[in-house]
Structure 1
Amino acid sequence: MRILIVGAGIVGAATAYELAGDGHEVTVLEQHAAAAEQASFANAGLLAPSALIPWAAPSADSRLARRLLGRRAGLRLARGAGLEGLYWLWRWLRAGRQAQAGARWQALAALGHASLQRTQAIARALDVDVEASRGTLVLLRSQADAQLLRAGLDAMQTAGAPLREVDADTARLIEPGLAVDVPLAGALHALDGASANCRLFAQILRQAAQELGARFVFQTRVLALAREGTAQPGVVLAGQGEPLRADALVLCAGLGSAALLRPLGLRVPMAAVHGYTVTAPVRDEMHAPQGAVIDPRHRITIARLGQRVRVCGGAELGHARGAHDEATLRTLYLALSGWFPGGVLTSSPQVQVWRGARPSLPDGAPLLGAGPARGLWLNAGHGASGWAQACGSARAIADLIAGRAPQVDLAPFDPARF
């Protein structure tokens, strides 16, 4: 079967690898000059526990809602958010309070668990080093912090990926670099927690897919989906008169997917929720994180990536004209120096600061399944969990195209829910 894929981020690269491995003739169309140049470029790096990734799904926490418009808000409305951003935010808050929120958390946890297993299996098969680290600590400044995570904890338990509770002393044995003077009531330890370099893995998947016969066409802009002509799906490309058609088409283009679907009558409420990362070299091995840690109170993650450490946090609706929010960046630097004093060289010229968009839907679940036209498949809108869900989502889409039942129940991710 000839298959077109739009988008070469981590989701698109994983989809190309799975489909090429199934024997299909795959062509990937990407508007940038290389794979993983947008949301996959410098994301948090956290693979698991996916259900506890900050901003992975809407929260019912009323304290967050009260702080949305303050100077120390967890989620900021930046320049350009407008009425559309306010409406998306209202839907996001409402989703966290809906009766089906618990079932959605469980579905996301199951997808994340399956995806972690698939990611690790691919890494073993390709025998590659992607700057992976094992183990994740969820740091609890007080026992009340655990209540912020209740939905995610229950979902992980159901998915078969529980966390064990440890006291502060045990947490500091697991992560010896943790500051001794920061209040710590205890932690939750995920033995199978993992982090790795998303962009590096996407590039490896692109090369592996090419070795399986896939073709990547970069600097190619998709203007629209072909709506007339043969029964085959297709795309209209910039600078080309006739649509490019195939037997199947998979949209993995993040925010671009929503724009392409609109003329077909499917208006998905996908928004760019921007987050920040700061990546810095390790200064002292014993004072740097060994795996990954999550600070649920401030919705921050700190992950070890080889000889670098990446801290991630913040959430902004609106373009902000591309400007960085200095308050958010200060919070990230303070998190690094506060939790792991002396472990990271934050003054190094090698420090990388990044602001990237997370293509997010208000219910926190991606679009996985058949699209509104024959031969069209959707694999987009993973939000903050794109890296954590990419390989599982790709395998599921490949199974659907092959007529097989996916490992994970995809009903909660049906694009027709909007």
Structure 2
Amino acid sequence: MKVLILGSGVVGVTSAYYLARQGHEVTVVDRQPSPALETSYGNAGQVSFGFSSPWAAPGIPQKAVKWMFQEHAPLKIQPKMEPAMARFMMQMFANCSAERYAVNKERMVRIAEHSRACINALRAETGIRYEDRQRGLLQLFRHDSQVEAVVKDMRVLEQCGVNHKLLNGEEITKVEPALGRVPGKFVGGLHLPDDQTGDCYLFTHRLADYCRERLGVTFRFNVEIQRLKRSAGKVESVLTSEGELTADAYVVCLGSYSSFLVKDLDIRLPIYPVKGYSLTVPVVDDGGAPQSTVMDETYKVAISRFDDRIRVGGTAELASYNLALREKRRATISMVVRDVFPEGGDVAKAEFWTGLRPMTPDSTPIIGATRHANLWLNTGHGTLGWTMSCGSAQLLADLMDGRPPAIDPRGLDVSRYAA
């Protein structure tokens, strides 16, 4: 089957890998000059299977109001007269009940745990390296109330068979020794030893090279995707800046821009861009730097270790498609890395970046078929695009081939929004 994948971020490239591996003739199209130059470029660096949790959670509407008046809040809203933002916020808040949170959490962990097995197998098969480490993730708690709240999440982790352990303030230094230099700052942490760390940009680039050289995947860059042309209940072609492109099947992996492309086909994707920021900090003291990934639960900032760099990613900003670098957001993530690892890196020499995370109201990606026979979706992964990319792509390949899927696909396709 000839497959056209629209988008060359980490989700598009992993989709190409699994489909080509199953014998399909795959072409990837993107407006950028090379892979992973948008959301996949500067993400937080964690591959956090066990940390897969919905942003929509009980208490978030109340917290959102409080965060509006905090300098270093994890969520900032730039109010706009934009129906899409209002609609997204209403749908997100509707998912903040305990019942909806449990459903969404299970779906996310289901994909993430499958993705864990997939990325481990991919790394073994391809041999690609991307400054990766398999040393786990440590979620850090500054307050006892956070420790009490995480108990509910631990029940879901237990049900899904996710390896985890709750640590006290002294035990966290055995996982991340540099935390011993800031005694008393954290009351404990949740350790997820099977989570991973790495550079998503390197991963995507090197996997794209493997796909091209070993699996015969064609990449067409600097091509603007304009619209889909349909006929008789299916997609006939993709209109681009280089003319019409045709295939037997089409896969939309355009992240925050996916909804624009399928809107004319009467498909409503409730995806909204949630802006995130990151710093890439040169390491100056190995003993004072993280050895894997820590997540500061208070500020929702992740701090990940690469070979000689520290990636600090965080804050969520609702600001439509505005990619301006805001110094106030830089101040927040700079403050956190200096507070947690004050001697680890030279923050003054950091690279500052921003990107748009394609968020759904329930934080769960949209994977699977549409009402158009040959149009498929793999999009809406929010903050966990890399974490879920391999599992999502492998599931998609199974579904497109008509194979029994490796995991239960129920609740993951766009039909869950039909109501």
The two structures have a TM-score, normalised by structure 2, of 0.93
Q: Is the 8 A contact 1:273 1:315 kept in 2?
A: yes
- The Cα of 1:226 is off from its aligned counterpart by 1.2
Counterpart residue number, 1:226 = 229
Change in CA separation of 1:99 and 1:131 when aligned onto 2, cut-off 3 Å: same
Amino acid at match of 1:200: L
> Is the partner of 1:96 in helix, strand or coil?
coil
Say which of 215, 227, 237 aligns to 2:218: 215
| Mapped pair 1:412 → 2:411 | yes
> Is the partner of 1:166 in helix, strand or coil?
strand
Distance in 2 between residues matched to 1:261 and 1:407, nearest whole Å: 27
| Mapped pair 1:84 → 2:84 | yes
Say which of 38, 54, 58 aligns to 1:60: 58
| Mapped pair 1:327 → 2:325 | no
Q: Is the 8 A contact 2:50 2:192 kept in 1?
A: no
Counterpart residue number, 2:116 = 116
Amino acid at match of 2:109: A
- The Cα of 1:140 is off from its aligned counterpart by 1.6
Distance in 2 between residues matched to 1:6 and 1:249, nearest whole Å: 8
> Is the partner of 1:129 in helix, strand or coil?
coil
Change in CA separation of 1:379 and 1:91 when aligned onto 2, cut-off 3 Å: same
Q: Which structure 2 residues correspond to residues 97-108 of structure 1 after superposition, within 5 A? A: 97=97, 99-108=99-108
Counterpart residue number, 2:34 = 34
Q: Is the 8 A contact 1:43 1:277 kept in 2?
A: yes
Which one is further off, 12-21 or 166-175? 166-175
- The Cα of 1:150 is off from its aligned counterpart by 4.6
Q: Is the 8 A contact 1:365 1:412 kept in 2?
A: no
Counterpart residue number, 1:308 = 309
| Mapped pair 1:23 → 2:23 | yes
Q: Which structure 2 residues correspond to residues 135-154 of structure 1 after superposition, within 5 A? A: 135-154=136-155
Q: Deviations over 1:42-75 (max 9, x none)?
A: 001111245346xx53121245233243243432
Distance in 1 between residues matched to 2:81 and 2:252, nearest whole Å: 25
Q: Deviations over 1:13-36 (max 9, x none)?
A: 000011111111101111111100
- Percent identity between the two aligned chains: 30
Q: Which structure 2 residues correspond to residues 252-267 of structure 1 after superposition, within 5 A? A: 252-267=253-268
Counterpart residue number, 1:45 = 45
Q: Is the 8 A contact 1:368 1:379 kept in 2?
A: yes
CA RMSD of aligned residues (A): 1.9
- The Cα of 1:353 is off from its aligned counterpart by 0.7
Change in CA separation of 1:130 and 1:137 when aligned onto 2, cut-off 3 Å: same
Counterpart residue number, 2:379 = 380
Amino acid at match of 1:19: L
Q: Is the 8 A contact 1:51 1:155 kept in 2?
A: no
Counterpart residue number, 2:157 = 156
Amino acid at match of 1:365: T
Counterpart residue number, 1:394 = 393
How many matched pairs? 412
Amino acid at match of 2:55: A
Q: Deviations over 1:53-100 (max 9, x none)?
A: 6xx531212452332432434321226473431331122122121623
The two structures have a TM-score, normalised by structure 1, of 0.93
> Is the partner of 2:383 in helix, strand or coil?
helix
Q: Is the 8 A contact 1:269 1:362 kept in 2?
A: yes
Q: Is the 8 A contact 1:79 1:320 kept in 2?
A: no
Q: Deviations over 1:359-379 (max 9, x none)?
A: 111111111010221111100
Q: Is the 8 A contact 1:153 1:162 kept in 2?
A: no
Q: Is the 8 A contact 1:102 1:151 kept in 2?
A: no
Amino acid at match of 2:294: V
Change in CA separation of 1:408 and 1:197 when aligned onto 2, cut-off 3 Å: same
- The Cα of 1:228 is off from its aligned counterpart by 2.7
Counterpart residue number, 2:238 = 235
> Is the partner of 1:51 in helix, strand or coil?
coil
- The Cα of 1:153 is off from its aligned counterpart by 2.8
Distance in 1 between residues matched to 2:414 and 2:93, nearest whole Å: 20
Q: Is the 8 A contact 1:251 1:377 kept in 2?
A: yes
Q: Is the 8 A contact 2:367 2:378 kept in 1?
A: yes
Counterpart residue number, 1:356 = 355
> Is the partner of 2:166 in helix, strand or coil?
strand
Distance in 2 between residues matched to 1:322 and 1:397, nearest whole Å: 30
Distance in 2 between residues matched to 1:74 and 1:338, nearest whole Å: 16
Distance in 2 between residues matched to 1:377 and 1:217, nearest whole Å: 19
Q: Is the 8 A contact 1:232 1:375 kept in 2?
A: yes
Change in CA separation of 1:381 and 1:158 when aligned onto 2, cut-off 3 Å: same
Change in CA separation of 1:233 and 1:151 when aligned onto 2, cut-off 3 Å: farther
Distance in 2 between residues matched to 1:230 and 1:382, nearest whole Å: 27
Q: Deviations over 1:118-167 (max 9, x none)?
A: 11211122222211122211112222113444554332222211311222
- The Cα of 1:182 is off from its aligned counterpart by 4.3
Amino acid at match of 1:383: G
Distance in 2 between residues matched to 1:151 and 1:86, nearest whole Å: 29
Distance in 1 between residues matched to 2:161 and 2:94, nearest whole Å: 28
